[in-house]
Amino acid sequence: MVEEDKAHEELLDKEAKIRERVDEQGKKWRKVYFGGGPHFRNWLEQTIELCGKDNVQVEEVDSKGFQCFEEAGEKMYRIWVRETKRRGKFT
């Protein structure tokens, strides 16, 4: 059990380090959410409402190591928001 907790903590630490990315066109994106279930759907709807659909991307993430998601067969996601040209701000 202690080893499982440590592995889970390491996965969360690794995920916390993922904050920004650059796509193939050189556009910068910032991660605003990581998770799944109803919380994901709420975050996605609100992020699209605030930032616009063109400025939001969803990335499916492997749920291996996150026991509750694995057992439920539930998917996990990252929500990314694109940086706009206005003074380097994220939408």
In a domain, residue 89? The reply is no
CB of 15 within 8 A of CB of 34? yes
Task: Kindly state whether residue 90 falls inside one of the protein's structural domains.
Answer: no
Tell me the average pLDDT across 33-44: 95
Ordered alpha helix ranges (H), the chain: 2-16, 37-51, 67-72
Query: In the chain, how many domains are there?
Result: 1
Is residue 91 situated within a structural domain?
no
Within-domain flag for 87: no
pLDDT at 67 over 50: yes
Residue 12 banded pLDDT, cuts 50, 70, 90: confident
Q: Which domain holds residue 69?
A: 2-82
Residue 45 has φ and ψ, to the nearest 5°, of -60, -45
Quote the CA–CA distance of 49 and 61 in Å, as a whole number.
23
Tell me whether residue 56 is in a domain: yes
The Cα 72–Cα 68 span in angstroms is: 6
Q: Which residue has the higher pLDDT, 4 or 64?
A: 64
Q: Looking at the domain assignment, is residue 48 inside a domain?
A: yes
